[in-house]
Each structure stands twice: as C-alpha cells, then as structure tokens.
Amino acid sequence: MFKNYIKIAWRNLVKHKIFTAINIMGLSIGFGSATLIFLFINYHLSFDKFHDNVDRIYRMNTEMHRTDVSYGSSVPPGFAKVFREDFAYAEQVAKIVDRNGMILNVEQNGSINKFKEDLFFVEEDFFKIFNYPLLDGSNNISISPPNTAVITETKALELFGTIDVVGQLFVLDNTTTIEITGVLQDLPKTTFLEGDIFISFQNLEPFFDFAAGESWGGTTSNLQCFSLLKPNQDIASIEAALIPLPEEHRPGYKNKHVYKLQTLSDIHLNADYGGLNPVFLVVFGIIGLFLIVIACINFINISTAQAFYRSKEIGIRKVLGSFKQHLFWQFLSETFLISLIAMILGIAAAIIFLPSFNTLFEIQLTLQSLLSYQFVGFLFVTLALVAFLSGSYPGILMSRIVPVLALKGKLNHNDTGGSATRKVLVVAQFVISIALIVATLVISKQIDYATKSDLGFDKESIVMLEVADELDPEQFSSLKERLKQIVGVQKVTNCLSSPGAEEHDWGTSVTYNNRSETEEFSIQVKAADEDYINTFNIPLVAGRNFFKADSITEMLVNEKFGRNVGVSNPEELLGKAIAVNRGRTKATIVGVVKDFHDRSFTDDISPIIIAPNTDWYSEIAVKINHLNTKETLEQINKEWSNTFSDNIFEYRFLDDRVAEMYETEQRYLSLSKAFSTLAIFIGCLGLYGLILFFVTQRTKEIGIRKVLGSNLSSILTLFSIDFLKLILIAGVVATPITWYFMNKWLEGYTYRTEVNWWYFLFAIGIIMLITLITISYQTIKAARANPIKSLRTE
C-alpha cells in the first residue's frame, strides 16, 4: 500500500510542478541550514570528550573577589604542589604553561631553518591525565628529564620534513638544545589545546620564572593546572577543603582567592573562563529552527491554497471509495516525498558550502561528521517532524472535503483551511524575518560602535613589534633610536603592551597616598617609556608626563584610578604617593591621563598606571606615515634584522589587533546576515506560491475590473493591500519581542549602542518592498492579459 501511495504522490508532484519546486526549494534551504548548524553545535559540544576518564579530569580555576568577582582559568604556581602533596583527592596533578612566538632553530641538510612557534611546557604527569597517543598508539610518553620534548606528526613534517624525528634536536630561543623523544598522533581538532610542541617543564624557568616557581602571589593566564581525580569524589567537598589555602599561603592579600574545579567538558563552553558563550549555540539552534519553521509554513500555506483546486480530485477519490484515512496518508506521502527530496538537496548544498563555513568560523568540520549516528538520527527525526507537521494539517483538511460540494464546484476557500489560517501563518513568517533583520542591524551597529568609536588613543598606522626576551635595556634604547631615524617613522615607544590590548596584562595591587591598606581594586600596569602617551596620542588632563628615567620614581594614572580612590578632581591626585606590586615599587603621581579603553566594550575601563620599567618591555610601537607604508616597513625590517639576526621579523598593526577582540561578533554578524537573507528568500518563495494561486483564482475578477475601466495601479493596490496589512501586524508583534531580546544581548557590553526605533521601520520597509516586488510580477502579468481571455477562464 505504501508503494501505491508513493506512486500516486509522485504523479501529483509532477502534475503541480511549479508548487512542488517552490516547496522543495524552501525546505531544502531549511534542511541545508539546519545541517550546517547541527554540525557546528555538535562540533562545540564534543570538545575534549574523547579522553579516557573524561568525567574525572578537572581544571583548577580561581575566582578573584575584590570589589567585584572575576574569573581566571589558572591558579597560583604553588597550588599544584600543595594539592598533590597535602590532599588525597587526585591520582595525578600537572601544570602546563603556554609560551607564544618562541624561535626554533632546526638544522636540515647543513643549513639552519628558523621557525616561530607557540608551544607548551608541561609536567610529566600531564600525559598520564590526557591520553594523547604516540604514533605507535602507545601512551609511553616521558619528558621528565630537562631538554626533552614531544611533537605532533604534522609539526614533525613541517620542521624536519619527516615523521622519523625521535632523537633529532632543535635549539629553543637560540639558547637551549632540545631533544625530541616522541612523536604524537595529531591532536583532535576538538581539543582545548592548540599546540603541537610539548617541552619538559624543567626548561621553563629561563623563559618564565614566575610560572616555573612555587609562588602564591598571583596567577597568570599562561599557566593551567589539571588533575585526574580518584573515582567517586565529591567536588563540593574538595572545593570546601580548598577554602583555607589563600589565608595559609597568601595572607593579607585584598584579592581574595576562591579555588574551583571545572570539568573538562565545561572548559570550551564557559564564557566566565574564556570559553565560547553557550548562548551563541542556543541562538544558532533557534535560527535553524526558524528557517525550518518558515519553510514548513510555506508548505502549509501553499498546500491549503492548492487544496481548493484539488477538491474535484478529492471528491472523485471519495466517490470511488477512498476513506478519510486513505486521503490523509496519501497527502502525507506527498509531503514525505517532497521533504525527502528537499533533505537530499539540502545536504548536498551544505556539503558545497562546508569549506566556506569552516573558513568563516576557523573550524574544521569534515564530511566524516555527516556519517555519525548523531547526525543520521537528527536527519531522520527532522525529516519525520517536517513531513508530519507540514503534511498533517493540509491532509486533514483534504480528507474532510465533502464530495458532493467538490464535484458541483460549490466549495469555497473556507472549506479548505480558510484565509484566516493562512494569514496567521504568513504573519508568523514576517515576524521571524523582521526579527532577523533587526538582530542583524543591532549586531552590526554594536560592532561598528566598538571598532569605530574613539577608544581614547590613536590606533591608526601604528605597527607593533614583539621583541625577544633576551633584549637588554641598552639594546631596547639603541633600537628605538635607530627606528626613529627611518624616513616615514613618526614616533616610537618601548612598552609592555599597547593601550587597547589584553595581551601582556599586568594586574597588581596598589596603595594610594600612604594608606594603611592596599585598595580593594587591582590596577593594570602599562609599563612604558616617556614617549608612550605621545605615540598613542593619549591626552593628559592634569599634570605632566614623567621624565626619562632608568628607575621608577614617577607615574601616570588614568581618571578611572582617581574615581576608584574617591578623588573626582584629577588635580588633587598630583604629588600623591603610590605603591604597587605589594609595595615593592613606589613612586609619585605626576600626571593624569584621560580614560582609554584598555579592553573590549564588554568590560569596563580599568584603573591604570603608566610607568617606566625596562625589565617589563616586550613590544615596540612604531607610528608610521601611511603614505609610505611598504618602504617604511622594509626599513624597519632591516634595522630589526641588524639587532635580531637570530629572530624572525613579524609585525601587527594595532587597528587589526583591536579588531581581533570582536572577531567572534564579526563571524556571527556574517552568519546573521546570511540567515536573514535565507529567511526572507524562503518567505518570498511562499508568497510567490500564494500569490500565484490567488491571482489564478481571481483571473475573472481582474478581467471584469479591466472592462469596467480599472487601471494597472488600482489592480495592483487591490492585491497588495491585504499583504501590507499582514506585514504591519507582523511588525507590531515582532517589535516588542525583538526589542526585549536585543536589549538583553546588549547588556553583555558595558559600552553599547541602542536599539533604535528606525531599525524596525527599516525591517518592515524591506519586507514590504520585497513583498510588493513579489506580488507585482504575477499581478501585472494577469492584469496585462486580454480581458476577453480572462473572462473565459474558470
């Protein structure tokens, strides 16, 4: 019987090929989009779930309680030893420290090749916690002796041109010779680690002595600590046992630490600790659902309208003995067949666009993901739901048609679903489309606001050069002076980091005006020379710049610092004593600079001090003339190479670095634009199908109106007015809902734009324009027909 249903369904689909094509196109877009979104969500949910004992692996994090609570995916360097030796909760505990941009010298065929690599220093137990196998499949990894390392297969090929590299040597940062003791299989893409080189922790001290030590004075985001807990541990009890540690090991600190355990599966999807905000996955899921719903609405609208013209067919079938359930399943078979074809086309489209999707989000979804049982299950569940939800309502309506009325041609549109139902569904379509357009406008406006607003400093035509760790103060000063002599270079400053970058953060405690206790808040230290504020064009609001000096005796603070210590007039800060870093560095405030955004717009401006400290400089900022960029960079490269003959010249423009803070939003904006366009396109397909039916139904009416003297514009107005009313109703419904949710999204930004009223007018106007264009084609075609021919129709 099912075979007969399919045969009849296929004949009907071919017979009504225009409407079949419209339904298939709309559903295929929905299936294709849903496929990409499912793969994207599944990719992020599968992070780090491939490890053995994944439910027992935890990262140790720190909540820092001051005037507010902040979260760090790290613990003090001394924590691991204490947790390993003083508590009996874990089988293994290991620290891992990442270091970026380190130089590797590799000898090949008698020549030295230089590579700039990001790598990890790891303790021996790290590979007992995480099961990253060697090429032979074993886990016999040992890098406990100093000067040893393991690398991945891909990195071995890149560095040495072969995977047979056990026993090979490379020189780390021109100082330390490292032997490769093992080659790892390439790390899965769904892992929190983004590295290919793992070096013995015992080699860390020359490159990062703080992280290599056992201090409890602070944390660094470069260090992470992991533990493999013993079975059946109670996490709440462990966290309670860790509460006394700060008082025991760091008494007197105003920055109160609370140590927390985080599951491995939570690392990737916890925004508090630097992971992806899971709200994005929810939004993606909702968008995918919207596209499927819009396609289903199209199907229902067209099918119920089409039912009026298939009424005689239904009447004949009933007269010949078909029961209601036969007609219902017949129509459901047609829906299933359309949905199946659409699903196949949608998956094909998803495969075609998969490389572009991967490029946009910098991920690596593969075709193998399409063969997983989760994806197959998702497809068949979605297919069944779409077919049932789209086909059941029209199927019920058709099965209820009275055969006598159908054969006599006395049915009206209320007998096949009524216009009210179709209007509700069309309004729902418009509501979704308006919401997506407004969301796109708001996201775009916020990104423009963040990247194009005055950040309080100059970011244009400034080149950031990251210097080698071994550069001493005299070399710093000499290189700076040589760079200043280059034609095209306007200003140069040596510094720890640029004003608007979260890289190389140095947060520490501060004591103001010889108060008895440190302040409740921490400050950000911008170590820099006397040319810092001039190079970045940071204005002074009080006092003067500090003089050139080899030691810290004078400092600048920002306006936010003054507000935090209770001083509203910047002039009152001048001459006051200030001590940072637990009182180890003391100086006098000689100037106050205007506030500038040192972080993204999601965060508030930090209290900041600027002071010279040559031991902390890690970058050189060069302001250049944008008219001679290429020539100037070539000269900078030449001077750089004269100083760093053993290093690789790399640079980044500051405006690009600032823009990188909003990369995630940029990607979601691109996707929002794409999905908004698809939603509107699907809606237009449905409108086209509905209008085609309505125009065909009213062909005789158009002919009569033309005979009675109606012109083209009046006929067009007649057909347009009902749809324009529906769009206005959709606008009224969509406006408060979208306004609420977009304002909730903007609350994630400390500095944000607003949801303007004209966004909704613009979205409604766009939908109206597209609807009018869609209506006009069929209406004008019918209105231009010979009225005599029209009056013979029906």
The residues that bridge with 107 in the sheet, in sequence order, are: 112
pLDDT range class, residue 478, cuts 50, 70, 90: confident
pLDDT in tens, 347-378: 999 899 888 888 877 788 887 777 788 888 88
Q: What are the Cα distances from residue 766, in Å, to 46, 292, 439, 656?
A: 39, 22, 14, 33
What distance in Å separates the CA atoms of residue 679 and residue 289, rounded to the nearest whole number?
A: 11
Residue 261 has a pLDDT of 96
End-to-end alpha carbon distance in the chain: 35
Residue 298 has a pLDDT of 77
Residue 5 has a pLDDT of 44
Cβ pair 427, 729 in contact under 8 A: yes
Cβ pair 624, 503 in contact under 8 A: no
Over range 330-340, report the average pLDDT: 77
What is the DSSP secondary-structure string of 120-138?
A: EEE-TTHHHHS---BTTS-
In terms of Cα–Cα distance, which of 105, 256, 262 is closest to 170? 105
What distance in Å separates the CA atoms of residue 161 and residue 151, rounded to the nearest whole number?
A: 13
pLDDT at 102 over 60: yes
- Strand, coil or helix: 698: coil
Which carries the bigger pLDDT value, residue 218 or residue 75?
A: 75
Residue 178, H or E segment? strand 176-184
- Strand, coil or helix: 322: coil
Q: What is the mean pLDDT of the chain?
A: 82
Residue 190 has a pLDDT of 85
In terms of Cα–Cα distance, which of 436, 487, 465, 365 is closest to 38? 365
Q: How many CB atoms lie within 10 A of CB 52?
A: 11
Please name the amino acid found at residue 65: H
The residues that bridge with 200 in the sheet, in sequence order, are: 122
Q: Are strands 176-184 and 148-152 parallel, antiparallel or unpaired?
A: parallel
Q: What are phi and psi of 59, to 5 degrees?
A: -100, 140
Residue 619, H or E segment? strand 619-624
pLDDT in tens, 655-702: 888 877 777 777 777 777 787 788 777 777 777 766 766 666 666 667
Residue 412 has a pLDDT of 52
In terms of Cα–Cα distance, which of 128, 139, 130, 126 is closest to 202? 126
Sequence-separated contacts (24+) of 704-709 with Cβ below 8 Å: 704/787, 704/791, 706/783, 706/787, 706/790, 707/787, 707/791
Residue 9 has a pLDDT of 46
pLDDT in tens, 113-129: 888 888 999 998 999 99
Residue 405 has a pLDDT of 46
What is the DSSP secondary-structure string of 559-596?
A: HHHHHHTT--SGGGGTT-EEEETTTTEEEEEEEEEPP-
pLDDT in tens, 622-636: 999 888 888 999 999
Please count the CA atoms within 13 angstroms of the CA of 222 that sit on its side-chain side. Answer: 20
pLDDT range class, residue 404, cuts 50, 70, 90: very low
In terms of Cα–Cα distance, which of 162, 125, 153 is closest to 141? 125
Over range 31-40, report the average pLDDT: 87
What distance in Å separates the CA atoms of residue 309 and residue 98, rounded to the nearest whole number?
A: 69
pLDDT in tens, 78-88: 999 999 999 99
Q: Are strands 90-108 and 111-122 parallel, antiparallel or unpaired?
A: antiparallel
pLDDT at 481 over 50: yes
Over range 92-96, report the average pLDDT: 95
Residue 610, H or E segment? strand 608-611
Residue with token string 């400053």 = 493
Burial profile 385-398: b = 16 or more Cβ within 10 angstroms, e = fewer: ebbebbbebbbebb
pLDDT at 406 over 50: no
Q: What are the Cα distances from residue 26, in Å, to 21, 79, 396?
A: 9, 57, 22
SS (H, E, C) 632-667: HHHHHHHHHHHHCCCCCCCCEEHHHHHHHCCHHHHH
What distance in Å separates the CA atoms of residue 17 and residue 20, rounded to the nearest whole number?
A: 5
Which carries the bigger pLDDT value, residue 644 or residue 651?
A: 651
Which carries the bigger pLDDT value, residue 377 or residue 505?
A: 377
Residue 290 has a pLDDT of 82
pLDDT at 6 over 60: no
The residues that bridge with 93 in the sheet, in sequence order, are: 227
pLDDT range class, residue 408, cuts 50, 70, 90: very low
CA dihedral over 199, 205, 211, 212, signed as positive or negative: positive
DSSP 3-state helix, strand, coil percentages of the chain (rounded to 5)?
50, 20, 30
Instruction: Give the highest mean pLDDT range of 139-148, 397-406, 551-560.
Output: 551-560
Residue 706 has a pLDDT of 67
pLDDT in tens, 218-229: 888 899 999 999
Residue 590 has a pLDDT of 94
What distance in Å separates the CA atoms of residue 509 and residue 495, rounded to the nearest whole number?
A: 20
pLDDT in tens, 756-777: 889 999 999 988 888 888 777 7
Say if residue 300 is exposed, middle or buried (CB neighbours under 10 Å; 0-12, 13-18, 19+). buried
Over range 96-112, report the average pLDDT: 87
Over range 52-77, report the average pLDDT: 89
pLDDT at 533 over 80: yes
In terms of Cα–Cα distance, which of 535, 504, 506, 510 is closest to 522? 510
The percentage of residues in the chain with a pLDDT greater than 90, rounded to a whole number, is 29
Which carries the bigger pLDDT value, residue 496 or residue 670?
A: 496
Beta strands per DSSP E along 40-109: 57-65, 69-72, 90-108
* 445 Cβ neighbours under 8 A, 6+ residues apart: 753, 756
pLDDT range class, residue 416, cuts 50, 70, 90: very low
Residue 95 has a pLDDT of 96
Q: For residue 515, how far is the Cα from the chain centroid?
A: 44
Residue 182 has a pLDDT of 92
Q: What are phi and psi of 266, to 5 degrees?
A: -90, -15
Please name the amino acid found at residue 499: P
What distance in Å separates the CA atoms of residue 620 and residue 482, rounded to the nearest whole number?
A: 12
What distance in Å separates the CA atoms of residue 657 and residue 515, rounded to the nearest whole number?
A: 38
Give me the count of residues in the chain.
794
Residue 2 has a pLDDT of 46
pLDDT range class, residue 407, cuts 50, 70, 90: very low
What distance in Å separates the CA atoms of residue 686 and residue 699, rounded to the nearest whole number?
A: 20
Instruction: Give the highest mean pLDDT range of 113-127, 319-333, 516-530.
Output: 113-127
In terms of Cα–Cα distance, which of 650, 644, 323, 595 is closest to 453? 595
* 673 Cβ neighbours under 8 A, 6+ residues apart: 440
Over range 516-540, report the average pLDDT: 89
Beta strands per DSSP E along 454-584: 462-466, 489-495, 507-508, 510-512, 523-527, 540-543, 554-558, 577-580
Say if residue 382 is exposed, middle or buried (CB neighbours under 10 Å; 0-12, 13-18, 19+). buried
Instruction: Give the highest mean pLDDT range of 33-37, 268-272, 588-592.
Output: 588-592
Residue 28 has a pLDDT of 85
Which carries the bigger pLDDT value, residue 790 or residue 630?
A: 630
- Strand, coil or helix: 547: coil
pLDDT at 259 over 50: yes
What distance in Å separates the CA atoms of residue 765 and residue 314, rounded to the nearest whole number?
A: 41
pLDDT in tens, 148-181: 999 999 999 999 989 999 999 999 988 899 999 9
* 247 Cβ neighbours under 8 A, 6+ residues apart: none
CA trace torsion 233, 237, 238, 243 (10° rounding): 180
